[in-house]
Amino acid sequence: MLGDSQVSKEDQVADLKFSAAQGESIEVCFEPVGTTFSLSDGEAVFLRTAISNVASFEIVSWPNGVGVWVPYPGDYAIVDSQGNEIDTL
């Protein structure tokens, strides 16, 4: 998990939220590894990474989905709404 010991004081951590609207469903795919989450009715996942990485992301949307391209390899964690790590990229 991306923790304080892995991030310098100048490099703060950000949690980027990807969620489905109430009453809707979407897929969120993290590339280039292809990790995909199906979300519905307000569910969310968060991409946790150093703020300095955010400018390198490419986020593409399509009907009922979002693709998030991150530089790979890297230090990224996928966390749920309670802050529990559910995957790493």
Joined together, the tokens standing for residue 26 give 């979407």
pLDDT of residue 68: 97
Domain count, the chain: 1
Q: Which range marks the domain in which residue 72 is found?
A: 4-88
Q: Tens of pLDDT along the chain (89 residues)?
A: 455 445 555 579 999 999 999 999 999 999 999 999 999 999 999 999 999 999 999 999 999 999 999 998 888 999 999 999 999 98
pLDDT of residue 1: 45
Joined together, the tokens standing for residue 29 give 């795919």
The model's pTM? 0.83
Contacts of 22 (CB under 8 A, 6+ apart): 41, 42
